[in-house]
Amino acid sequence: MIFPFESLGSADREVGLVVAVLIGFAFGFVLERAGFGRSTKLAAQFYLNDMTVFKVMFGAIVTAMLGLVVADGLGLADFQVIAESAASTTYMWPMLIGGLLLGAGFIISGYCPGTSIVGAASGNVDGLFTIVGVGLGSLLFSEVYPLIQGFYTSGDQGQMFLYQLLEIPPALLAGGVAVMAVGCFVGAEVVEKIYTRKMSGEEPQLVPVAPRRLVFATFGFATVLGLALLTVPVGARTQIKTEMCDACSVGRIDAEELARRMLDEPWKLLILDTRERSAYEEKRIPGSEHRALAELDSYGLAYSPGVKDLVLVDADGLGYAPPAAMKYPGRVLMLAGGFAAWKAFALEEPPMLTADASDEERAGFLFRASVHQKMTGSKAAPPPPAKATNFTAPKKKRGGGCDG
Amino acid sequence: MNPEKFWNPYVAGVVLGLVLLSSFLVMGKGLGASGGVNRVAVCAVDAVASDHVDDNTYMARLKTDGRPLLDSYFVFEILGVLLGGVVSAFAAGRLKGGVIRGPRIGISSRLAFALTGGVLMGVAARLARGCTSGQALTGGALLSAGSWVFMLAVFAGGYALAYFMRRQWT
Distance from CA of A277 to the nearest CA of B (A): 37
**Interior/surface letters A219-243, b for 16+ CB within 10 angstroms, e for the rest:** beebbebbbebbeeeeeebbebbbe
- The answer, yes or no, to whether residue A238 has pLDDT greater than 60, is no
| Secondary structure (3-state) at B114 | helix
Torsion angle, alpha carbons of B161, B162, B167, B168, to 10 = 90
In a domain, B145, yes or no: yes
Whether the predicted pLDDT of A152 surpasses 80 = yes
Query: Which residues, in sequence order, are CB contacts of B103 under 8 Å at separation 6+?
Result: B170
Residue A16: Cβ within 10 Å count: 20
What pLDDT shows up at residue A366? 86
pLDDT digits (tens, 9 = 90+) for A350-361: 888 877 788 888
Contact status, residue A171 vs residue A70, Cβ threshold 8 Å: no
The total number of residues shown for chain A amounts to 404
- Cβ distance A205 to B6 under 8 Å? no
Range ranked top by mean pLDDT from A75-84, A287-296, B148-157: B148-157
| Confidence grade of residue A401 (pLDDT, cut at 50, 70, 90) | low
Output the pLDDT for position A250. Answer: 46
What is the torsional sign of CA B170, B113, B121, B73? Answer: positive
Please report the residues numbered 82 through 111 in chain B whose beta carbons come closer than 8 angstroms to any beta carbon of chain A: 82-89, 92, 94-102, 110-111
Check residue A382 and report its DSSP letter. P
Q: What share of chain B is helix, strand, coil (3-state, %, to 5)?
A: 70, 0, 30
B14: in domain: no
B71 lies in some domain: no
Separation between Cα atoms, residue B23 and residue A9, nearest integer Å = 13
CB–CB of A87 and B138 under 8 A? yes
Residue B36: closest C-alpha in chain A = A135
Tens of pLDDT, residues A323-345 = 777 777 778 888 888 888 888 88
Chain A CB contacts of B131 below 8 Å = 102, 112-114
Cα–Cα distance for residue pair A351/A364, rounded to 1 Å = 11
Mean pLDDT of chain B: 94
Average pLDDT over residues A99-117: 97
- Backbone phi and psi for residue B58, each to the nearest 5 degrees, phi listed first: -75, -40
Name the residue facing B21 among A35, A40, A67 (closest C-beta).
A67
Tens digit of pLDDT for each residue in B46-88?
999 999 999 999 999 898 888 889 999 999 999 999 999 999 9
Q: Is A158 on the interface with B (CB under 8 A)?
A: no
Q: Is A58 in contact with A184 (CB distance < 8 Å)?
A: yes
Average confidence (pLDDT) over B104-127? 96
Is residue A55 scored above 50 in pLDDT? Answer: yes
Provide the domain limits for residue B122: 99-170
Q: Specify the range with the lowest mean pLDDT, choosing from A337-341, A357-361, A364-368, B133-137.
A: A357-361
Mean pLDDT, rounded, for A118-135: 96
Is the Cβ pair A86, B28 closer than 8 Å?
yes
Strand order in the sheet with A309-313: A252-253, A332-335, A309-313, A269-273, A289-290
Residue B170 lies in a domain: yes
Per the CB < 8 Å rule, is B34 touching A134? yes
Residues A346 and A341: their CA atoms lie apart, in Å, by 8
Does B37 fall in a domain? Answer: no
Q: How many CB atoms lie within 10 A of CB A180?
A: 12
Q: How far is CA A99 from CA A64, A112, A366, in A?
A: 22, 11, 40
Confidence of residue A246 (pLDDT cuts 50, 70, 90): very low
Q: Does B14 touch chain A (CB under 8 A)?
A: yes
Average pLDDT estimate for A89-101: 96
**Does the CB of A70 have a partner CB in chain B at under 8 Å?**
no
DSSP sequence for A155-185: TB--S-BHHHHHTS-HHHHHHHHHHHHHHHH
Q: What is the mean pLDDT of residues B104-122?
A: 95
Per-residue pLDDT tens over the stretch A178-187? 999 999 999 9
Residues A194, A187, B20: CA angle, nearest 5 degrees: 120
**Residue B152 has what pLDDT?**
97
Instruction: Identify residue A319 by its one-letter amino acid code.
Output: G
Q: Does A107 touch chain B (CB under 8 A)?
A: yes
Residues B18-40, mean pLDDT to the nearest whole number: 95
The answer to whether residue B26 sits within a structural domain is: no
DSSP letter assigned to residue B141:
H
Residue A131 has what pLDDT?
A: 97
Provide the chain B residues 114-153 that lie in CB contact (below 8 A) with chain A.
Answer: 114-153
- Taking CB atoms and an 8 Å cutoff, what residues of chain B touch A21? 76-77, 79-80, 83
In A354-373, the residues whose Cβ lies within 8 Å of chain B are: 359-360, 363
Q: Do A102 and B125 touch (CB under 8 A)?
A: yes
How far off is chain A from B141, nearest CA to CA, in Å?
Answer: 5
Pairing of strands A332-335, A289-290: unpaired
Question: Per the domain annotation, does B157 fall within a domain?
Answer: yes
3-state SS class at A26:
helix
The residue type of B100 is I
Query: Is residue B150 a part of any domain in this protein?
Result: yes
Give the gap in angstroms from C-alpha A201 to the nearest C-alpha of chain B: 14
Compare CB distances from B27 to A4, A44, A141 and report the shortest one's residue: A4
Counted domains in chain B? 1
Q: Any CB–CB contact under 8 A between A80 and chain B?
A: no
Q: Contact at 8 Å (CB) between A102 and B136?
A: no
Distance between CA atoms of B75 and A117, rounded to whole angstroms? 12
Residue type at A5 in one-letter notation = F
| pLDDT-based confidence at residue A65 (cuts at 50, 70, 90) | very high
Q: Name the residue with higher pLDDT: A384 or A126.
A: A126
What separation, in Å, do the N-terminal and C-terminal C-alpha atoms of chain B show? Answer: 27
Confidence band of A400 (pLDDT split at 50, 70, 90): low
| pLDDT tens figures, A12-49 | 888 999 999 999 999 999 999 999 999 999 999 999 99
> Cα(A23)–Cα(A30) distance, rounded to whole angstroms?
11
How much is the average pLDDT of B92-120? 93
The DSSP-derived string for A54-110 is: HHHHHHHHHHHHHHHHHHHHTTSS-HHHHHHHHSPPPBHHHHHHHHHHHHHHHHHHS
Give the model's pLDDT for residue A233.
60
Q: How far is A42 from chain B (nearest CA, A)?
A: 10
pLDDT of B99 reads: 93
User: Which residues are paired to A273 by β-bridges?
Assistant: A290, A313
The better pLDDT of the pair A278, A145 is held by A145
How much is the average pLDDT of A62-78?
92
A33 touches chain B (CB under 8 A): yes
| Distance, CA of B74 to CA of B61 (rounded, Å) | 16
Percent of chain A with pLDDT over 90: 43
pLDDT on residue A249: 37
